Amino acid sequence: MSYRPCGVYHQYYRQDHAWWQTKFVWGKMIFLFIAVFYLFPQYAGMYFIAIANVVGYTILSAMGVQLLIGYCGQVTLGHAAFLAMGAYTCTLLMLQLHIPYPIAMVMGGIVGGLWSVLFGLPSARVKGFYLIMTTMAAQFLTVEFFITQYVSKIGGRGVAFSIPPGTVKIGPWMIKDDRDVYYLMAILVVIFTIIMANLVRSKIGRAWIAIRDNDIAAETMGVNIVLYKLVAFFVAGFFGGIAGAFWVTSLAAVSPEHFHFGWSLWLVGVILIGGVGSIHGTIFGALFMTLIPEALKFLIFALTQNPVFVNIMPFLPLLLEKFLYVKEAAFGLAIALFLIYEPNGISYRWWQIKNYFNLWPFSY
């Protein structure tokens, strides 16, 4: 009966809090690791690997947003600013000081965390709408002003920092194509998912959840809400800085255009659709927000190849040409539909489906 939760009992606290509590779950996770690290990169085409890299980048980027909004209750609409600080710090350290990429990546994460704390300081006094305005200010002051007008021009450059081939490498391993980027992405996603999962189960995570649920009650119980809010902003900014430093591996040149305000809104949409306050929600949201637009683009392209559909719907070629606007419209429609029909996100539905099969035939 070890494959059913109703047939499993625990004698120790450590058993109750184990990640993988049955042999069946262990088997599933082992198969998942084999599929992610061996089967998919070996047999998938470069197009699918490139899409997987975008999914991984979205997961890493949205993880900090999930921490702030989902676990600490601090609204943020400027998270792309911290990604930009991590990316530019990592790039400058590699190009100007010739610091190895792993060290430059960690430094990018630290700078992103400290920059996030700077704009998280008002959270000690304000919340709600006013905190939204503060985080939006972080986006515009960082990307549109500080990076565009000053950082981008270091070394006599115009706007973008070109990254010569062979710059990004980890020891003897040179990251030169999408398959190398995929392996790095998979490793980072696993590491930071483990970090995130352990953080939210720790004393710090319980304090964040208490602040999210009722900050006045949390302070009454002795939680230093200012300290824990700033820790949340630092960790979220650190995750964002690492995500930005990772994305450098997929770019020929780093530009402020890669960290625009729309990307900050996109990341909030990822956790709303995936599920607020759920690590699974970050992954499901990233998959949905990446794969659905790609599937929509493929569908429109396939329809335009058939003259019958083009005659019936003559606007199809225009949709393909203006697909960026179609993508944004689909994003807005998806947010609206999920808020109306599935406000708890995909992760909640996954939890229900999983419990239905685990508890069958007593699913009721």
Q: What's the mean pLDDT when you consider all of the chain?
A: 88
Question: What confidence tens digit (pLDDT) does each residue in 103-158 have?
Answer: 999 999 999 999 999 998 888 787 777 888 888 889 999 988 888 888 877 766 56
CATH of domain 21-358: 1.10.3470
| Helix 129-139 and helix 80-96, axial crossing angle in degrees, nearest 10 | 30
Instruction: Mean pLDDT check: name the lowest of 17-26, 97-106, 223-232.
Output: 17-26
Residue 50 has pLDDT above 70, yes or no: yes
Q: What angle do CA 179, 180, 184 make, to 5 degrees?
A: 115
Residue 361 has pLDDT above 80, yes or no: no
- pTM for the model: 0.90
Report the alpha-carbon distance of residue 123 to residue 131 in Å, rounded: 6
The residues spanned by each domain of the chain are 21-358
| Eight-state DSSP code of residue 293 | H
| Between 149 and 185, the higher pLDDT residue | 185
- Tell me, what's the pLDDT at 26? 87
Residue 79 has pLDDT above 80, yes or no: yes
Q: Closest Cα partner for 5 from 364, 355, 361?
A: 355
Distance of CA 175 to CAs 30, 61, 171, 209, Å? 26, 20, 10, 38
Average pLDDT over every residue of 341-364: 81
Q: Where are the alpha helices (DSSP H) in 17-167?
A: 23-34, 40-43, 46-65, 80-96, 101-120, 129-139, 148-149
Q: In the structure encoding, which two tokens stand for residue 141, read together?
A: 């002051």
Is 271:73 a contact under the CB 8 Å cutoff? Answer: no
The confidence band for 1, taking pLDDT boundaries of 50, 70 and 90, is very low
